[in-house]
A and B are shown apart, each in its own frame.
Chain A
Amino acid sequence: MAAANRLSVAKTYKIYIDGKFPRTESGRYFPLKNKQDAVIANVCRGSRKDFRNAVVAARKAQAGWARASAYLRGQILYRIAEMLEGRIEQFVAELQLQGRTERQARKEVEIAVDRLIYYAGWADKYQQVFSSVNPVSSAHFNFSVLEPTGVVSIIAPDDSGLIGLVSYIAPAIVGGNTCVALASESLPLSAVSFAEVLHASDVPAGVVNILTGFRDELTEQFASHMDVNAIAWPGDGRKMARSVQTLAAENIKRVIARPKIDWMSDEGESPYLIRDTQEVKTTWHPIGS
């Protein structure tokens, strides 16, 4: 029986790179405050170098993750949902800490669990929906399949702590991509706790990397990195939108802007969101004449 006046233990919120929880290499932090202006946590203010390290980890993990069977990827996504389900109370409390009502928070976490289940189910199906056998006029078996675009950088929506992030990460990784995600700047805590869920879910190191930090400082890095194949982001702000696509053009990065989606609703989940970070490969295989 704990003493009534027991001093609680606060969590150090760290970033998640390559299956590890380092502090930002920069040593910087920003204080997250509640409505009463009390500090809830000192959050890592991730740096460009953190991002570059995360991209290296994501690239290293990508080929192996893409090679994993669809069945396995589906099970791992399901496992993430199971782990999150078991920690619903923790996430609800954390969202409340960041200003959500209990009802809002509970709904958000429950939808997040269900969203993971939704995408787990797509793992071995989207290929069947989106691939094709093409009846060419020559002696070839010609078919088109989807393959992951590669490393995806993600700017999670700022207006939700969990559901936005989950709704971006799940469709990217279920399709064999690896990713580096920037958590909501104003609601960063759930992202770090979600990294802990991922860590306990057999997601291979480097498949998902999560940073916390300032969007204004890091978005351009997420857009410009030459070893990132796609950037998925909310596309908010005309000036930032121009900057993101201008920088992305340097390596013809795919720019996936998802403005005005209500992630709490059914429009927040679709196999077309998986397809956004897929490439179509067409193979001409000889069949003899």
Chain B
Amino acid sequence: MATPENKLAFDGGWAYDPAPESTDHISLKKRYGLFIGGEFVAPENSRYFDTINPANEQKLARVAEASEADVDRAVKAARAAYSGVWSRMPAKERGKYIYRIARIMQERAREFAAIESLDGGKPIRESRDIDVPLAAAHFFYYAGWADKLDYAFPGQRAKPLGVAGQIIPWNFPLLMAAWKIAPALATGNTVVLKPAETTPLTALKLAEVIADAGLPPGVVNIVTGAGKTGAAIVNHPGVDKIAFTGSTNVGRIIQRALAGTRKKYTLELGGKAANVVFADAAIDQAVEGIVNGIFFNQGHVCCAGSRLLVQESVADEVVAKLKERMETLIVGDPLDKNTDIGAINSSMQLEKIQSYLKIGKEEGGEMHQSACRLPKKGYWCRPTIFTGVAQSNRVVQEEIFGPVLAIQTFRSFDEALAKANNTPYGLSGGVWTDKGAKIFKMTQGLRAGVVWANTFNKFDPTSPFGGYKESGVGREGGLHGLDAYVKLGAR
């Protein structure tokens, strides 16, 4: 059986040595309060919960659980900061504060990366090279918009909404915080943000950065907690806008909860993206893209390429190469710089993924996993593919949010497009071909908000992101991401 070790044994018993990122430079408090009105305060009912490292199940810190009263305090702080300071401040000055956040984050990038991997389980290679730099870049990008909004909305005057309530997921904790906070601040809103209960630490470290940057108290408030805390934000009458990233089911609940109110909302929800590989694609490159599409961040990616549609004439070759490549993926310690696939974020998510593996087999799919060894402690899932699945199978239709790929074949372009579009989702898609015209034909036909051609899972602050159909409402990032945080009126 091939293993990561012998696959790479080009001329003998060569193996990877451990290459762990050091954590002696990071500082974590034993206990974190809520960041309200510019300082950390205790929750009114003194309740705290543990946040653990999913790679070894050890406690990292205690974190406050915000109650309705705490959320109310945060919203009031945000409202006071909005009316008193932030909405009156010259836009240029607002922008400079946001630039400060970006710069401090760059200075402390390695610390943020290490904490992100500790708290969430993602490989340090990703948190170091993707999450943290992109988060800083996002602040840098939107900082510059603050005094240029007249150019973003031709013929209109853009005004802030007020207090934005923001709820983010656990798959890209710091990056999602940046996606939410940066455009809200640039457009003159103040913020109450809730990070996910399994990954609160980098948001709390971001609170430190925001304090260090000297932002007026209450402009950004960070409250930790689970679903009840989120519901308190959604239902608070003092909130003018809800920005949510998470599952389609919760998005639906939020859209309903906001019914009959004047609150604006943007929803970034689930996905089941097809990665379409044509016979004329550069096959090795496509295999790398498939791997990146589904195994990036353990597959905890709403825009993951969780379906592979491969043209029949190259299907055997692609699947064989994919299986070979899967054997070389290193699953293990998120802090090890050689790790490709880290820990599953939580035991709950691991159970969900495992239930889908069972469903996939019961539905008649053929499951294949790499043969890698898994650590004894922590939450792990081997890279997994299903072949022989039908369009109606649940592993083809439903978002698994793990390293699990459903593989189907197609003959014609039209068949590929029809299958690609045949889910309720429409967040992203991918196409692999050597022909430019075919790229455009496919990218035009895909009913999805982000389409990658001969690449996958690329992100940039200038590039709008968001879904069609049940994958959400609104865009984040780029010029179009400003729209979520303004009301337009005649000049």
A-to-B contact residues, CB < 8 Å = 129, 132, 134-138, 140, 142, 144, 149, 229, 238-239, 241-246, 248-252, 254, 267, 270-272, 279-286
Contact = CB atoms under 8 A, between A and B. Distances in A.
Nearest to A284: B452
Interface string B430-468: 000000100110010000111111110010101111101
A46 B374 CA distance: 62
A134 B463 contact: yes
Contacts of A245: 255-256, 258-260
A251 B463 contact: no
A252 B269 contact: yes
Contacts of A286: 453-455
Interface string B351-386: 000000000000000000000000000000000000
Interface of A is mostly: mixed
11 contacts: A132-B478, A136-B463, A142-B460, A245-B260, A246-B259, A252-B471, A279-B449, A280-B466, A281-B443, A283-B451, A285-B453
B272 to A, nearest CB: 14
B154 interface: yes
Contacts of A132: 464, 478-480
B232 interface: no
B413 to A, nearest CB: 15
- B contact residues, range: 35 or more
Contacts, number: 112
Given A129-B154, A252-B470, A267-B490, 14 more contacts: A132-B479, A239-B260, A248-B255, A252-B248, A252-B255, A252-B269, A252-B472, A280-B464, A281-B449, A281-B468, A285-B436, A285-B439, A285-B440, A285-B453
Contact of B478 (A134, A238, A285): A134
Interface string B327-340: 00000000000000
Contacts of B455: 140, 284, 286
Pairs of residues from A and B, 8 with the lowest C-beta to C-beta distance, nearest first? A242-B260, A245-B259, A249-B255, A136-B460, A134-B462, A246-B259, A242-B259, A252-B470
B462 A252 contact: no
Nearest to B430: A284
B79 interface: no
Interface in B37-62: none
Interface in B232-258: 248, 251-253, 255-256, 258
Given A243-B259, A282-B465, A284-B453, A249 B252 contact: yes
B488 interface: yes
